[in-house]
Structure 1
Amino acid sequence: MKIKIISFHKILYEENINSIIAPGFYGSFQILKNHAPFISILKNGFLKLESENIKKEIKIEGGILQVKENWIIVIL
């Protein structure tokens, strides 16, 4: 699955990942491959990304996350 994290000025991160855990407005959630289409408001916290070789945490202060056809887009 591919992820693109963008801010107002630039693309912050763009890679293939296996899963993401995100701080949703009503609680944290995880997205895996072939997830149903989904949109969520994000609150302050950390995006936890995991791929075969890498575990990465990105601090965020809110945003929007959309999942569609194994593409995840996060707008901060």
Structure 2
Amino acid sequence: MKIKIISSRKILYQGDIISIIAPGYYGYFQILKDHAPFISILKNGFLKLQLEKDKKKKEIQILGGILQVKKNMVVIIL
């Protein structure tokens, strides 16, 4: 699954992931490969990525945004 995290100025992160845990409006949720198309508002918190490369984990603090999942591509606009 691919991910792209975009701010108003630049691409913050782009790459392949196994999963993402994100702070949705009503609580944290997880996205895995082959997830149904989905859009969510994000609140303040941490994006928790499990990277495909070396299966390492990465956390990114955010102050809200929008997440979209479509055809194994996650796009987050902050």
**1:28 Cα deviation (Å)?**
0.5
Scaled by the length of structure 2, the TM-score of the pair is: 0.95
| 1:13 and 2:27 matched | no
Q: TM-score when scaled to structure 1? A: 0.98
- What's the CA shift for 1:51? 1.9
Instruction: Please give the per-residue CA displacement for 1:43-69, whole angstroms capped at 9, x wherever unaligned.
Output: 000000002421000000000000000
Runs (5+) with no aligned partner, structure 2: none
Instruction: Pick the aligned partner of 2:66 from 56, 64, 67.
Output: 64
**Unmatched 5+ residue regions in structure 1?**
none
Percent sequence identity over aligned pairs: 74
Aligned counterparts, 1:1-76, within 5 A: 1-52=1-52, 53=54, 54-76=56-78
Aligned pair count reads: 76
User: What amino acid maps onto 1:5 in structure 2?
Assistant: I
